[in-house]
Amino acid sequence: MDFEAGTYDIAVIGAGHAGIEASLAAARMGMKTICFTINLDAVGNLPCNPNIGGTGKGHLVRELDALGGEMAKCADKACIQFRMLNRGKGPAVHSPRAQADRRKYQELMKHTLERQENLTLRQGEIVDIGVDTLSGVREVSFVKTQTGAIFRCKAVVVCTGTYLAGCTIVGEVISEGGPDGMFAATKLGDRLRDLGLSLRRFKTGTPPRINARDVDFSKMEKQVGDEPPPPFSFESDEQLVNSVPCHLTYTNEKTHDIIRRNLHRSPMHTGTIEGTGARYCPSIEDKIVRFADKERHQIFLEPMGLDTEEIYLQGFSSSMPEEVQLEMIRTVSGLEVVEIMRPAYAIEYDCVDPLELLPTMESKKISGFYGAGQFNGSSGYEEAAVQGFVAGVNATLKLKGKEPLIISRNDGYIGTLIDDLVTKGTNEPYRMMTSRTEHRLLHRQDNADIRMSHFGNRIGLISNERHERVIAKYKAVEDEIKRLETTFAPPSEALKELLHTHNTPNAENGISLASLLRRPKIKYCDIATFEQKQGKSFTLSPEICEQVEISIKYSGYIERQQRQVDELKRMESHKIPDDIDYDAIHTLRIEARQKLSAIKPQNLGQATRISGVSPADAAALMIYLKSLTSEGRAELVNV
């Protein structure tokens, strides 16, 4: 029998990475919040790879930290190896990545939720979301657990991950369930369909875990962390330590032969798996088929923590039968006698079409209904976390009657991720990569603090003191750039030696320090050493020195990208009325009318990024909007 169990402002369904950030953001902004999870032992779980960050994803984590999120802080406390990826490339693609102690990460996140004021953490499966229709608008009114407990609320954030109608597949064995043997959410999906939401079926997978005691690491390439370890959080005061190495090994022709001989048993190739998987994270059997000419594929061994012998085999994702998995693994150098602790599996789950969402993460169909993470069609812990944060913040701002938080693709990776989902949609699990943003040099991981902290300060999740420290940091950067531009190094033996040492042409008439730094082989530390020899002392932090060097070396490229961003901002300043009738704009092509009517872009910039809207359609829409303005029916607002 149903019973009234409590009243809250916001209910969050799911306590994975999206649910955690949504719950913490809402509670910290003063909302009475309740977070539900099917199993309390799964809070903050890392069901796939035991790491945080990576290419593109590390940018998301640092932006989230600059907004006031939790993931970076927890990563710095729980991780056991830290690296900055792509150091051999330009700063635009430098990405922090850290191996996590899986259980410690979960424990820290769960305890953070438990201690958070205004937040209740509760075990229970949500099977119903109540929706009332008031003045023609459908609004969220409650959530109900499987045991009949009804919790009144004004907004709900759905963060169901891969649990929604979850189904795991290992060879011919198909089981209803979520990750790591947890129960699936079996009833909520039907309710969401009844509410008119468009759900689709996606698929992901995870590699096997093995016991380290059986691994011959001497046959593998060791990979250690960076020294000093690069933290995730801009505010990190943790004593970071690289506690463990990772290792590399490779498949071989024997491995590939076993896979080819057993393709008839692969659910991916027999049609058992119907969900769409991520192209950027293929299974090992898919790699063998798609890249038949490759003689080997990399396997990356990642330790699962300091107090376990479990090792994650990155690159060996599979849905093959368990006995085939073991046969495959034992052909790999260093893994000849290993035992499987957890077999690999594929998992299918339901998610919503993100084209039904606004940039705030709110549903276009139901007021107060928000989605985040894999429920929105994305993949990855980091993608989930940032969406959860944005959803929780915007649910709060709406209930407070304040302007929403809209992070655009002009602002960084979070804006690109959200804009891609709600404007372009996705037909497969969406993964963030550096190639997805047009402005990589502006949106670096190292300057996420100046790009995002003002948003966090505005919503009250970044303190005035922290924001002022960010402003002071970049004021020091500007001052140092000006100093280098106006400081002249006259001809001298010391200058000649510096240039000769770095194999760069001599400066017969002297040179400004900024011009010196623009030379490809000269770094800021070289100039600092040069000036120290002249008797100047330095007090600038490494972070400020890094910003100075990047700003000067890449100034031309940065200025060009900034002009592109300014043009995009100009397009996005042209707002589109909510009640516009695209069918009345006869100069638009039929496809454009259909796409614009379905997606309902909020501004001209967003409209131009919709698949099926051509430049000619955009021009026609601009003309139409101007005609509305002249008639006094709409106004193009410049912001």
Question: Do 14 and 161 touch, CB atoms closer than 8 A?
Answer: yes
What is the CATH architecture of 573-630? Orthogonal Bundle (1.10)
**Most distant CA pair in the chain, distance:** 90
Q: Report pLDDT for 638.
A: 38
Per-residue pLDDT at 250 exceeds 70: yes
Q: What is the pLDDT of residues 133-147, one digit of tens each?
A: 988 899 999 999 999
Please, which pLDDT band fits residue 631 given cuts at 50, 70 and 90? Answer: low
Distance between CA 626 and CA 164 in Å, rounded? 45
Q: Report pLDDT for 611.
A: 85
Q: Report pLDDT for 632.
A: 53
Crossing angle (nearest 10°) for helices 71-78 and 381-399: 140
Q: Report pLDDT for 630.
A: 60
Question: Do 479 and 543 touch, CB atoms closer than 8 A?
Answer: no
Distance between CA 617 and CA 623 in Å, rounded? 10
pLDDT, average across residues 534-562: 92
pLDDT, average across residues 603-621: 88
Per-residue pLDDT at 109 exceeds 70: yes
Per-residue pLDDT at 259 exceeds 60: yes
> Domain 209-348 has what CATH class?
mainly beta
199 φ, ψ (degrees, to nearest 5): -105, 150
Assigned token pair, 486: 């106006």
Q: Report pLDDT for 567.
A: 86
Which residue, 45, 56, 17, is CA-closest to 375?
17
More confidently predicted of 578 and 123: 123
Q: Report pLDDT for 571.
A: 84
Domain edges within the chain: 3-203+349-458, 209-348, 464-558, 573-630
Q: Report pLDDT for 182.
A: 93
Which amino acid is located at 100 in the chain? A
Assigned token pair, 292: 């038949």
Which residue, 217, 389, 367, is CA-closest to 303?
217
Q: What is the pLDDT of residues 438-459, one digit of tens each?
A: 899 999 999 999 999 999 999 9
> What's the CATH number for 3-203+349-458?
3.50.50.60
Alpha helix (H) ranges present in 441-541? 448-458, 464-486, 493-501, 513-518, 524-533
Per-residue pLDDT at 492 exceeds 80: yes
Question: Do 589 and 609 touch, CB atoms closer than 8 A?
Answer: no
Same fold, 3-203+349-458 and 464-558: no
More confidently predicted of 175 and 534: 175
- For every residue of 417-444, which 3-state class applies, written as one string? HHHHHHHHCCCCCECCCHHHCCCCCCCC
Q: Report pLDDT for 273.
A: 77
Say what the pTM is.
0.94
Q: What is the pLDDT of residues 44-67, one digit of tens each?
A: 999 999 999 999 999 999 999 999
**Residue labelled with tokens 């410690």:** 104
Q: What is the pLDDT of residues 384-411, one digit of tens each?
A: 999 999 999 999 999 999 999 999 999 9
Crossing angle (nearest 10°) for helices 524-533 and 542-553: 110
Question: Do 275 and 429 touch, CB atoms closer than 8 A?
Answer: no
Per-residue pLDDT at 120 exceeds 70: yes
Between vectors from CA 364 to CA 437 and to CA 572, what angle results, nearest 5°? Answer: 40
> Domain 464-558 has what CATH class?
mainly alpha
| Percent with pLDDT over 70 in the chain | 98
pLDDT, average across residues 582-588: 90
Assigned token pair, 459: 């919503």
